[in-house]
Structure formats: structure tokens, C-alpha cells
A and B are shown apart, each in its own frame.
Chain A
Amino acid sequence: MMDQTQLSVEESAHNLEKHADVQLDITVEQLKKLVSPRAFTGETMLLNMGPQHPSTHGVLRLLLELDGETVVSCIPDIGFLHTGIEKTHEGKTYLKGLPLTDRTDYLAPMINNLAYCGAIEKLCEIDVPLRAQYLRVILAELTRMNSHLVWLGTHALDIGAMSVFLYCMRERELLLDVFESVSGARMMSSYFRPGGLWRDVPDVFFDLVRKVMDVFPGRIIEYERLLKENPIWRERTVGIGVIGKADAIAWGMTGPSLRGSGVNYDIRKAFPYSSYDHFDFSVPLGTKGDVYDRYRCRLDEFTQSLKIIKQALDRLPPGPVITDDRKFAPPPKHEIAYSMESLIHHFKLWTEGFRGPNADVYFAVESGKGEYGVYIHGDGGPKPRRVPFRAPSLCNLQALPQMSDGALIADLVGIIGSVDIVLGEVDR
């Protein structure tokens, strides 16, 4: 018994020695500044929420300082899902980096693909055929609906309306069927390519999209009936987590979280891409910037998305879906059989990849969460020098401490839900 204790003391001394050379960049003094002095006298309580908490939508950890049930300070701790996507990009050719973008915001893969492909197209000056642009718009809007459905379901679930979640997941199947029909994958689709699309859409795609168009208007009314005038829902959301116009802009918030505060900023309108300026749609705005307004903005976006999809379907032009510039897009398979030049192009593209200039561009799209931007810095070779992503979730989450200041801990759950974060995108 004695020996064992001694051993463990020795062991721990050894461990201490081993860790003595590990230098932490932070000191306790630095961490003490994060909470109010009342926390050290025991007047307020420090509570750890997450990272394994169902309402933090992934692995977000919040250190909460509570005075009774009131939040005094909220310190988000992120990085649990950091997978080094930006670093991995530096070791891959432009094309091979594409599937990684699916995995940042895994609820909106096609929109991420669009941002990444758009940035490469801007960097290398690749023209995208009109048919591909329209199909991209249709798929991006379906993806936005997919993202919003998951948000609505989980947000309502957090606040206690469980049936909404089940309905949302039911409708999401229809959208996943569309993605499966074009790419073969339901979530990580990687369907867009620099210069267009991987292939043209199959015939069944149109049937599936029409089914979505038929089913959804009624379902949106159903969601509204469930929550919009629901007294419990209004009690839990109206006037909660308020953030004003100026604050929302200063925190760099974008997307429905910003528009809920009444700021009319939508990338599709401000900096149109992929022919969004060909379509007629409006941008839903809130007024007060509370949880309820953010909810209304997202819900109204369903209708606008359907409107855009309808216009794009009706006016979908025939033609190719990928650029015929052989330096960036591979030649059709049948050409390789008789054309030596095509064979060379194919070989060069799949072994070396195409080269990007030694310059930088920034390209942003409106994702379900906000401004999803890709900044690409090429180095003249086939691999980019650096590909940082502008993640909307990260910037929106940064405003959480201000929104939750003085809120009840039960409302904090609703506020996190209303910001609509995806931790895969926050941490990348």
C-alpha cells in the first residue's frame, strides 16, 4: 500500500517534470479577466455548458457566469472541431480541394462548392455557361432550404416544440433526393466544378424538383401555423437576444442574423453572382433584431427560394454545363478515344492540375448562414498558396456574448439556435 502511494507520488512528480517544459501561452491572470470579480468571491457561479450539449449544435463550449439564472458573462470556447481544412488545401490541387469545402458547412455543401468554384473562376477567368449558372442557382436555393430546415427543426426542438423537428426532417428527405439524383451523394455532394458542373442533370432531377415545388408551399404554411402565432413560441422568442443594427454590423454579422436587425444586406443583391440578377426575388427583413425576427426572416426565405427556383426552372436554357476551355475542364470521354490533344489535356488535368496565377481574389456567396467567402491566393503553380474561408458562423457567433448579456440561461439556448451556427464551419 505504502509502496503504491510512493510510486504514484513519484509518478506525478515525473509528470510534472515532463510538463514543466510545456509552456502555455496563457496565464491564469489572463483568464481571470474574462469573468467579473464577483466570480471569485462566490457571488456568481461559473457553469460549463458543452461541448457535449445537445443545444449547442455541435461542439461549442460556453463558460457561463451566472447570477441566479441570469447570464452575467458568456465566454464561447471554440476549436473542438478544428480539422485544418485550410492547411489541407495547401497540399492539394485546386480541383482536389473541392470536396473539402463540403465539409465546412456540412448543411450547405452546394453553396460552399459554389463559393470555392466561383473564386477559382474569378482567379483564372473561366466563363461558366448559362445553363450551368442557372442549375447552380436552383441547387444553391435548394441547399439553402435544406440548411434552413435543419435550423428550424433544431431551433424549435431546443425551445421545446418537438414535432416541428420531425416535419422538417421529413421534408428534408425530398431535398436530399434531389442532391442524390444529380451527384450520387445525399450530403457531401461535390457536384460543382470550376467552370461549371460535373455533368448535366438527369431527367429525374426535374421531376424531383417539381415535387419539391408542389409540396413545399403547403408545408411552409404548416410550419407557420405551428409556430408563428403560437403563444409559447412568441413568449420564448419575442424581445429575446436583441441586437441593434449598428452592433450587428460592427460584429460583422451577415445573413438572416443581420437582416433580422433590419439591415438590407444580401450578397445575392449587393454583389450578384451566378446570374442571380436575372431573377426577381425580395429580401425579407426584420425590425427589432430579436430571436423572433431572425426566425421570421429565415422562414420567409423559404418562399423566396421557391420563387427563384421556379423562375430558373422555367427559363433554364439548353446547352453545355461546363466550360469548353480544355485548360480547366476535362474533355468529354469519347473525344479521348480519337484525339491526341484531348488525351494530353485529360492527362495533364488529372495529374498536375491547372495552374492559377500568383495573385489573390475574394469571392463571396450568400449561404444559409450569411456571407460565405473564399479568398484564394495562388502561387503560379497547380496548388494554391492559401485558401482561407470567411465563415459566417464564426462572425455571427462572436456576437453571442452581447446578445446573451443579461438573458436567462433558458433563453440562451434559443439565442444560440437563432444565430444558426454550424461548428464545422466555425472551426474549419
Chain B
Amino acid sequence: MAESTSLAAALGDAVTNTVVFRDEVTLLTTRERLVEVLTHLRDVERFEMLTDETCVDFHPGEPRFALVYQLTSLERAMRVRVKIMLSGADRVAPTVMGVYRNANWLERELYDLFGITFEGHPDLRRIMMPADYQGHPLLKEVPVTVEEVAFSFNRRRIDDTKIYAGE
């Protein structure tokens, strides 16, 4: 598509790959150049709104995480997606709060649910889970349900593991 090539061409080698799927343009970049790419897209290409920032876990694949930034241009009625890949061993990404300020809560959510640290984020704390929660629930190694189903033969044993046991 014409727009995808023109977007990628203006960014030069900051874009490592361009994917077009179902008419949606995805620009792949690296975390070192992420802020630069987003700043360019906001100021020059007028993608003034960060619609969503989210994460996909490819466990056990490597690189393990994809951070997905969904940008929208209200004037041009266009969307573009920017992606960076993170390895499972090094879960650090730069914050994009300097470019789009609503990344604040979105990044806190990713920190909370995926354990990804955003460098430079001023207020990185849990947002969905309680402050004393251990672990990051949306990682693939966390099972969808951890509760063992209680039957009459194992109900007492399950009850003993609950926080209200012995009360």
C-alpha cells in the first residue's frame, strides 16, 4: 500500500519491517528508536492520538513480548500500529509518556499485568491488582484458573489452603 511505504520511507532505518494485514499497517521498530518513531508520527504525520498501548505474550517463543502502540490520526482518519519486540530476559521498554501522556495508565497496566518495566515512567505502580499482589497475572505461564475444583473428598484439604483457614 502506498501509505505504508511512504510512512516507512520517511522513517528510514528506524523501521525494521512493515507488515500490511487486512489493510492495517504495522511498523516494526526497536525499543531504542521507539520514542523517535512515535514523535515523528505524532508531529510530522499528525497521528495525534495514542488509541491503545498493549502487550502480547508469545511464550515460549522468543522474542517473547510484543508491545503494540495503536495510533490514530483524527484529521486524516487513518490508523497505524507500531510494534516493538522485547526478549523475555530483558523486560524493559522506554516510556512514551513524553510523546503521548495518556500512556501513563496504559503503561502502568502493562507493568502490573505483564511485569514490563517502563524506564522513565514517573509513577510506575500497580493499577489493577492490589499493591501486595505477587506476580503478573497475564503472563502465559500463569494458568487461567488456579482454583482446584472442590469435591467432597478434597474440600477440607482445599479449605486448609485458603487465607481464612483456622479462623
Do A and B actually bind? yes
Stretch of A20-28, A147-155, A407-415 on the interface side: A20-28
A252 to B70, CA, bound (A): 11
Number of interface residues of B (CB under 8 A): 42
- Residues in B neighbouring A373, C-beta threshold 8 A: 51-52, 70
A86 to B136, CA, bound (A): 13
- Residues in A neighbouring B129, C-beta threshold 8 A: 79, 82
- Residues in B neighbouring A388, C-beta threshold 8 A: 52, 54-55
A108 CB to nearest chain B CB (Å)? 18
Q: B131 contacts A26, CB within 8 Å?
A: yes
A388-B54, A395-B102, A398-B102 given as contacts; is B22 within 8 A of A78 (CB)? no
CB-CB contacts of B37-56 with A at 8 A, as 1s and 0s? 00000000000111110111
Q: B127 contacts A78, CB within 8 Å?
A: yes
Q: B74 contacts A87, CB within 8 Å?
A: no
Q: A87 contacts B138, CB within 8 Å?
A: yes
- Residues in A neighbouring B70, C-beta threshold 8 A: 362, 373, 375, 390
A310 CB to nearest chain B CB (Å)? 26
Q: B137 contacts A125, CB within 8 Å?
A: no
- Residues in A neighbouring B51, C-beta threshold 8 A: 252, 364, 371, 373, 390
A377 to B142, CA, bound (A): 18
A388 to B100, CA, bound (A): 19
Stretch of A263-271, A282-290, A318-326, A344-352 on the interface side: A263-271
Do most interface residues of chain A lie in helix, strand or loop, or is the interface mixed?
A: mixed
Q: Is A84 an interface residue (CB 8 A)?
A: yes
Q: Is A91 an interface residue (CB 8 A)?
A: yes
A412 to B87, CA, bound (A): 43
Place the interface of chain A in its size category.
35 or more
Q: B79 contacts A271, CB within 8 Å?
A: yes
A86-B138, A87-B138 given as contacts; is B21 within 8 A of A251 (CB)? no
Q: A24 contacts B132, CB within 8 Å?
A: yes
Q: A263 contacts B56, CB within 8 Å?
A: no
Q: B21 contacts A360, CB within 8 Å?
A: yes
Q: Is A141 an interface residue (CB 8 A)?
A: no
Do most interface residues of chain B lie in helix, strand or loop, or is the interface mixed?
A: loop
Q: A362 contacts B81, CB within 8 Å?
A: yes
Residue in B21, B52, B101, B131 whose CB lies within 8 Å of A390: B52
Q: Is A122 an interface residue (CB 8 A)?
A: yes
- Residues in B neighbouring A25, C-beta threshold 8 A: 125-126, 131
Residue in A23, A87, A360 whose CB lies within 8 Å of B56: A360
- Residues in B neighbouring A125, C-beta threshold 8 A: 22
Q: B123 contacts A251, CB within 8 Å?
A: no
B37 CB to nearest chain A CB (Å)? 18
Q: Is A249 an interface residue (CB 8 A)?
A: yes
Least CB separation from B133: chain A residue: A25
A252 to B72, CA, bound (A): 10
- Residues in B neighbouring A364, C-beta threshold 8 A: 51
Could you tell me which residues of chain B, from 33 to 88, have a CB within 8 Å of some CB in chain A? 48-52, 54-58, 68, 70, 74, 77, 79, 81
Q: B24 contacts A361, CB within 8 Å?
A: yes
Q: A90 contacts B144, CB within 8 Å?
A: yes
Q: A360 contacts B137, CB within 8 Å?
A: no
A26 to B134, CA, bound (A): 12
A175 CB to nearest chain B CB (Å)? 29
- Residues in B neighbouring A162, C-beta threshold 8 A: none
CB-CB contacts of B89-131 with A at 8 A, as 1s and 0s? 0000000000011101100000000000000001101111111
A360-B68, A395-B102, A398-B104 given as contacts; is B79 within 8 A of A249 (CB)? no
- Residues in A neighbouring B134, C-beta threshold 8 A: 22-23
Q: B77 contacts A79, CB within 8 Å?
A: no
A252-B51, A361-B21, A375-B70 given as contacts; is B137 within 8 A of A87 (CB)? yes
- Residues in B neighbouring A82, C-beta threshold 8 A: 128-129
Least CB separation from A359: chain B residue: B21
Residue in A250, A264, A359 whose CB lies within 8 Å of B102: A250
Central interface residue in B51, B130, B131, B144, by most chain A CB within 10 Å = B51
Q: Which residues of A contact B (CB under 8 A)?
A: 22-26, 30, 33-34, 78-79, 82, 84, 86-88, 90-91, 122-123, 125, 249-252, 263-265, 270-271, 359-362, 364, 371, 373, 375, 377, 385-386, 388, 390, 394-395, 398, 427
Q: Which residues of B contact A (CB under 8 A)?
A: 21-22, 24, 26, 48-52, 54-58, 68, 70, 74, 77, 79, 81, 100-102, 104-105, 122-123, 125-132, 134, 137-138, 140, 142, 144-145
Interchain residue pairs with CB less than 8 A apart (8): A88-B144, A252-B51, A362-B79, A373-B51, A375-B52, A375-B68, A386-B54, A427-B128
